[in-house]
Copies of this chain bind each other. A is one copy, B any other.
């Protein structure tokens, strides 16, 4: 394996592989071929093999990939082999939905708290997660939390983000419609749900 630049698209697919692998593991399969994996995910098999080949040789010819081993290897690649703590900012409907979303577990994330600025909400709980004051940024520093999910109204998004970065956050999942300005050392990924819906009609019929 020569050195090659790893495509961003490859990285984007790795969590998909993890998700599928979790299902195989539950079902007790110990090996999985790139063909089966591709079928289940709606991809094609050379793509999966190529994706994995950027990081090493994980499969056995004639057999496929060992489910549990590959799971662990992908976790290491993605740096989620240890549980990562994250905070949700904004205890609105979306923030609460995210905080209680079990899917994060699959990737080894745990939601440490929800922060909000409404005195009415502070102190309440969403599932097992407590709503704390957003002014408690010391909380983030103390717990060495590096990840934040921003789900506040758009007009406060940049302001909140600036504060988060001061508190030591270096990775942000932005659920608002803002284009957040952050220093280079901070990584942002944005999801605009309406935008995804926005392209559907174009492709329909």
Contact = CB atoms under 8 A, between A and B. Distances in A.
A80 B193 contact: no
Q: How many interface residues does chain A have, given as a range?
A: 35 or more
A52 to B, nearest CB: 15
Contacts of A162: none
Number of copies: 2
A78 B199 contact: yes
B149 A80 contact: no
Interface in A72-102: 77-80, 84, 86, 92-94, 96-98, 100-101
Contacts of A177: 19, 103, 106
Contact of A171 (B14, B18, B146, B204): B204
A196 interface: yes
Given A177-B19, A185-B205, A194 B104 contact: yes
Interface of A: 11-12, 14-16, 18-19, 40-42, 77-80, 84, 86, 92-94, 96-98, 100-101, 103-104, 106-107, 109, 146-147, 149, 170-173, 177, 179, 185, 187, 189, 191-205
